[in-house]
Structures are given as C-alpha cells and as structure tokens.
Copies of this chain bind each other. A is one copy, B any other.
C-alpha cells in the first residue's frame, strides 16, 4: 500500500536542498515567522497542534501545543491525522518535523482519561485513532523527524519511534521509553514491532518488560534516539538532518522506507479489528480500570 502510494507520488529531486532563507522556527525560544506576503510560509493551526509549512524548503513543522503535557486525546489524534494527511497530499511538502510547544514535555502519551470510565464504543473509537496515527506516520512518504525537546513516555515515545530520525535534547531530566507495564498495562504488538525495528529484540524485551524510562543519554547509547543536542542547537541540528535526507531523490527514499517497514505495517493492517477488540476487552476489565484510576490519582497528587 505504502509502496503503491510511493510509486504514484514520485517527486523528482536531487542534489543539495535549497534551504529557504526564512526557516520555520520552533522550540522553547520559538517566534512566529511574520506572515508577510513575501514569505513562502503557510501555517494552519487547530486547537492542539500548530502546523507550519515552508514552501521553499518543503519542510513542515507540527508543534504540539496541548498543555499541560501534550497527552494524546481523541481530539489530539484526530487533529494529528488530519494535519498529516493535508501535508501528505501537498506536493510542496517533503518533510515534517515533530516537536513540542510545551516546556519539558514532548508528549506524555495516550490520554488515560480516554481509557477510564468510558463506553466500549468510546474505547474502540479511541484505539482506532491511535492505530490510524501510527499507520499514517510509519508509512508516510514524507521524511519525518522527531525533535524531542522534553520527556516522551509511552505513546510519546511511539511517535518518536515512528519517525525516520530522532534528535533529543540532552537534558538529564528528560526521559523516554515505553513504560506501559509500570501502569499495569501492555504495549500492543505494533508498538513492540516498531521498538524492535529500532533497538533490536533483546533491548526491547528487557525495556518493555521493565517499562523502563531512559535518560536521553542512555537512550542514545542503545539507539532509541539517534542524536543528542543541547537545547539551543536543536533547531539547527534538525534542519541539517532534514537537509541531508532531502538530498536523496524522494522516490528512491520513499520506496526504500516502504520496503523496510512493510512487514510491520502489514501486520497491523491484517489484525486491526482484532487488535481493537483486544484493547477494548483488556481496558474494560475491572482490574485494569482500577490500576488506571490509581495511576490518575497519583498524577493528580503529583501536580498539586
């Protein structure tokens, strides 16, 4: 499927990327680029994600702005998928950078309130949206990079893993990992597949069982993130990485990406409804509901 789209949407390109003079700006010190008619920059903003596309470079930025912790609610996921699809269908867009507009958090992962005290229909709708986000992002024809400027547990880590490249700010307070077991829940098989594809079977097995949250520097050591940078260098470094990837002809890069990811994408596509049923029946268990309520109480106390 991804391969087929790759063949259809070939964008010829080679040589060094003509970097636009006025690059999209994001990160903690973010300033909005002025919307002068001469600037080749388009922006559309919804409630939870702000998107900017620099047409001259073909680089978009999706900035998560859903305080306090960019949790992946149904609304967030819906906006994410719509925004991604818009960019995917925009010939002018060749790469997307994902980053956070919220200090110290990239994304805290799935919104637990969507999994607690709701109807089974709601759980099913929510889970389908989580799957949709992953399917679109993992198979995207665009070059994707996570500029991880804060902690990134669980679903936040998944978004990072699903990109082509991960750059993380080397702040000792920022952690990343699939910590589901710590909450008494289990990462689904496609989270696991994405993790194994990134760090290998053994590290995934140990990290997933323990629900480990790794410091940026530890995550870098075993390949969960590709690069560490000081916060003030994040934008510059991310741009350099994107430029390196966009120097490759799009169609060749896209077909190669699709070849690498096809087996794992196909597995979820083949078992999608089953996976939703599994999630719904698991999360509906009283023991799991109790675990999640305890966890939410703990989070509330922590905040106050």
Contacts and interface: CB of A to CB of B under 8 A. Distances in A.
Interface of A: 10, 12, 14, 164-165, 180-187, 189, 192, 196-202, 204-206, 208-211, 223, 226, 244-245, 248-249, 251-253, 255-257, 259-261, 287, 291
A164 B185 CA distance: 19
Contacts of A183: 252
Nearest to A257: B209
Given A181-B256, A187-B256, A209-B260, 11 more contacts: A14-B184, A180-B256, A181-B249, A186-B259, A205-B260, A205-B261, A206-B226, A209-B245, A209-B253, A210-B244, A210-B248
Contact of A181 (B189, B252, B291): B252
A245 B210 contact: yes
Given A209-B257, A256-B209, A251 B184 contact: yes
Nearest to A143: B209
Contacts of A244: 210
Given A165-B206, A198-B202, A200-B200, A182 B248 contact: yes
Given A12-B287, A181-B253, A260 B210 contact: no
A281 to B, nearest CB: 10
A197 to B, nearest CB: 5
Contacts of A206: 164-165, 226
Contacts of A291: 14, 249
Given A187-B256, A260-B192, A260-B204, A248 B209 contact: yes
